[in-house]
Amino acid sequence: MARLGENRYGKSRVRLSRITRHGDRHEFDEWTVRVLLQGDFEISFTQADNRCILPTDTMKNTVYSIACGSKAVTLEEFAMELGDYLLGNHPQVSKASVEIDEKAWERMIVDGEPDATTFRMNGAEVRTTSAAKEKGGAWTISSGVDGLTILKTTKSAFTGYIKDRLTTLKPATDRIFGTRVTVTWDYASASVDFAAARARILAALLKEFAGHMSMSVQHTLFDMGKAALAAAPEIERIHLTMPNLHHLLADLSPFGQDNPNHIFVPIDEPHGYIEATIER
């Protein structure tokens, strides 16, 4: 005999651009939203009865409608506003989860000054948040960045590792360290200055990466996470994924040339893959 287990449904990839007009400047946001609902939906699965189903097309329209009247400044604030509306207006919904990705648009600098209405994309990274709340409960918020691509040309080594009959890697005391970081952190509460906390966390991560004398990706990952926890008491833990995007020294010996750590071949695949959660 079959029975229905845990289930949810919603609308994904709802794309939204927003201009907020102030007297002397505009703000611009570009978000991609996913809404997922849990609740009393069993008869739609087991009895082909849709009376409890809010159409996902309505969810899409709800995203745009709430955004139109929203005063939210950050993606975290908008996620909670949208989720509260869905929980408050649909009694069959017991839990709402809202995930938002935000592209990294930043104000363009023209003649040394930030332009009031012109923006440029600041790299490939995407700011993220995931907010979830059960009816009558409190919000849990996780935020982060995906695709933070960083590299340094020194202060990176890798020695002292296991060597067996299949090991061909040579020890390195001065190597390129490149990675594409995915980082998420869990807030201790939903009453946070999200923009300020995000800025402090990212500044701490980047400063630690730049100055760290790395003996491995694992070594640097842990110290970056530790620095972020110190910079942001608002968060409980931080999770980092850091692939090691290799740059291999080019062999110029067939051409009679020396290559003293000068010319490299960047490769994306295969790459090392390191992840960990750093907690208080």
Q: Which is catalytic among the residues 11, 60, 133, 212?
A: 11
The yes-or-no answer on residue 271 being catalytic is: no
DSSP per residue over the chain, as a string? -----S--EEEEEEEEEEEEE-SS-EEEEEEEEEEEEEES-HHHHHS---TTPPPHHHHHHHHHHHHHH----SHHHHHHHHHHHHHHH-TTEEEEEEEEEEEEEEEEEETTEEEEEEEEEEEEEEEEEEEEEETTS--EEEEEEEEEEEEESSSB-B-S----TT--PPPBSS--EEEEEEEEEEES-S-S-HHHHHHHHHHHHHHHHHH--BSSHHHHHHHHHHHHHHH-TTEEEEEEEEEE--EEEP--GGGT---SS--EEE--SS-EEEEEEEE-
Q: Which is catalytic among the residues 60, 133, 212, 246?
A: 246
> CA–CA distance from 11 to each of 5, 51, 58, 76, 97 (Å)?
20, 18, 9, 18, 11
The yes-or-no answer on residue 56 being catalytic is: yes
Q: Which is catalytic among the residues 32, 56, 140, 241?
A: 56
The yes-or-no answer on residue 246 being catalytic is: yes
The closest alpha carbon to 219, from 240, 250, 197, belongs to 240
Our measurement of the distance from residue 141's CA atom to the centroid of its chain's CA atoms, rounded to an integer in Å, reads 12
Catalytic site positions:
11, 56, 246
